[in-house]
Amino acid sequence: MICKSLSKVLTFCILATAAACVSCFNNYDDVVPWVKVKVKINTLDAKYIDLQNPMGRVIIKNEGYGGNGIIVCHTSGNDFNAFDCTCTYEVSDTCAVILDEGNIAGAVCPVCGSKYELVNCGMPSSGKARYSLKSYRVSYNEPYLRIFN
Ligand code: FES
Q: How many Å apart are CA 16 and CA 28, to the nearest integer? A: 20
Residue 6 lies in a domain: no
Residue 11: inside a domain, yes or no? no
In the reported structure, the alpha carbon of residue 111 is separated from the centroid of ligand 1 by a whole-number distance in angstroms of 5
What CATH number has the domain bearing residue 74? Answer: 2.102.10.10
pTM of this prediction?
0.83
Q: Can you tell me which atom of ligand 1 is nearest the CA of 109?
A: 4
d(CA 99, CA 103): 8
82 falls within a domain? yes
Residue 71 falls inside a structural domain: yes
- Count the domains in the chain: 1
Domain range for 109 is 24-148
pLDDT, tens digit, 9 for 90 and up, residues 71-124:
999 999 999 999 999 999 999 999 899 999 999 999 999 999 999 999 999 999
Q: How far is the CA of 131 from the centre of ligand 1 (A)?
A: 12
Residue 15 falls within a domain, yes or no?
A: no
Does residue 90's CB lie within 6 angstroms of at least one atom of ligand 1? yes
Q: Would 45 be classed as within a structural domain? A: yes
Give the model confidence (pLDDT) of 26-69 as tens digits: 555 689 999 999 999 999 999 999 999 999 999 999 999 999 99
| Cβ atoms within 10 Å, residue 76 | 9
Position 1 in a domain: no
The DSSP code for 45 is S
- Which numbered atom of ligand 1 lies nearest the CA of 113? 4
φ/ψ of 70, rounded to 5, equals -125, 130
- Asked whether residue 5 is assigned to any structural domain, the reply reads no
DSSP state, 86? B
